[in-house]
Amino acid sequence: MQASEGQLVIRPIRESDYDALYQCAVESGHGFTSLPVDEGLLRTRIARAQQAFALPQVTQPGEEGYLFVMEDTAKGEIAGVAGIEAAVGLSDAFYHYHLGKVVHHSPKHNVYNALQTLTLCNDYTGATELCTLFVREPYRFGRNGRAMSKFRLLFLAQFSQRFSPRVFAEMRGVSDENGRSPFWAWLEKHFFTMDFPRADYLTGIGDKTFVAELMPRFPIYVNMLDKSAQDVIGKVHQNTLPALKLLQSEGLRFRDYIDIFDAGPTVEGDLKQLKTVRNSRLMRVQVGTPEVSESYLVCNLDVQQFRACHTQLNCQGDDVILDPRVAAALNVQSGDQVRIAPL
């Protein structure tokens, strides 16, 4: 589906999108920490996003949270949601486990053991997070999921002063259909008395004090974990694999940081080195009929009235030929600038 067909346009979330956002939270299921099924928290996220988009000038990243929806303009439905947190951990601690190594060596007895450890840390404090990516089932076809993920990089490229040079994304770890995480099961047995869905929910609504209070304060030896817990460290939920591959294609890499609840991997990269950011460029709009066209992501340059879509367009020098319906969907006209990147 393309905006040129009057179909899918990405825009900032509105208060009127609450019902659709709540439905996305329900459909996303266990382990999707950033979309808790909680009316108060979801309405707060919408309000935070509206405040972030309304800021006219931002010179450095703060606690802004940007939330976007993909709208099916023909049906008036929300097809998906995606977010960006400008800088995490500035007021609330943002936790990860870091996979490290310690060596136990006794030359006298000819013993050498290199053992993996998990150390609780806040190493991503101040970094920009790509988060809350969810596309509803009826729209999981074609390039919709790809566009919903990658358009955020156009936003980062255009408004880079609002974000950190370090960009990361947490990937959902392994859990079963009932929300049971093998990794959390081990932590629950030894340190906590709450199941994974509740711990995940508490984190989603911002109640993280229990992490500092109950999480082991010293490094954990990985070989002490149950085998089922060891096996899922750094692994993703099967539904998250396409999202992981897409981010890896952009240049985000696993640097030995995992989620403290389900052990899913965190991937990171340098903003300016991300593929879509590097390949994006500003073009001048000419409204017309593209003749020889290619598939691109395209967005306007207005924060408050931000619009993006994936469509077929034609580049001629510094000009891009946009179909009139695409131009209208992006709120641009001939002579305006847009940012584009190959999809």
Looking at this protein, which amino acid is placed at residue 194? M
Could you tell me the residue ranges of all domains in the chain? 3-101+117-342
Which tokens sit at 338? Answer: 């847009």
Query: Looking at residue 220, what is its pLDDT?
Result: 92
Contacts of 227 (CB under 8 A, 6+ apart): none
Looking at this protein, which amino acid is placed at residue 112? Y
Task: Please spell the DSSP secondary structure of 252-291, one letter per residue.
Answer: -EEEEEE-TTT--EEEEEEGGGSHHHHH-EEEEEEES--S
Distance (Å, whole) CA 153 – CA 194: 37
Distance (Å, whole) CA 101 – CA 15: 48
Query: Looking at residue 291, what is its pLDDT?
Result: 80
Name the stretches of the chain with pLDDT < 50: 1-6
Rounded alpha-carbon distances, angstroms, from residue 172 to 7, 236, 265: 29, 6, 8
* 104 catalytic per annotation: no
Report the mean per-residue pLDDT for the chain: 90
Beta bridge mates, 77: 72
| Bridge-based pairing state of the strands 281-287 and 319-322 | parallel
pLDDT digits (tens, 9 = 90+) for 59-83: 899 999 999 999 998 899 999 999 9
Query: Looking at residue 208, what is its pLDDT?
Result: 63
Name the pTM for this structure: 0.90
Distance (Å, whole) CA 273 – CA 302: 23
Beta bridge mates, 66: 84
Query: Looking at residue 6, what is its pLDDT?
Result: 43
Report the C-alpha dihedral over residues 52, 85, 88, 161, rounded to 10 degrees.
-70
Distance (Å, whole) CA 148 – CA 68: 9
CATH superfamily ID and name for 3-101+117-342: Gcn5-related N-acetyltransferase (GNAT) (3.40.630.30)
Phi first, then psi: give them for residue 273, nearest 5 degrees. Answer: -95, -5
Phi first, then psi: give them for residue 230, nearest 5 degrees. Answer: -60, -40
pLDDT digits (tens, 9 = 90+) for 295-327: 899 999 999 999 999 998 889 889 999 999 999
Query: Looking at residue 206, what is its pLDDT?
Result: 64
Distance (Å, whole) CA 221 – CA 102: 9
Active-site residue (options: 30, 96, 105, 237):
237
Distance of CA 340 to the CA centre of its chain: 20
| Bridge-based pairing state of the strands 111-121 and 77-85 | unpaired
315 and 337 Cβ atoms separated by less than 8 Å:
no
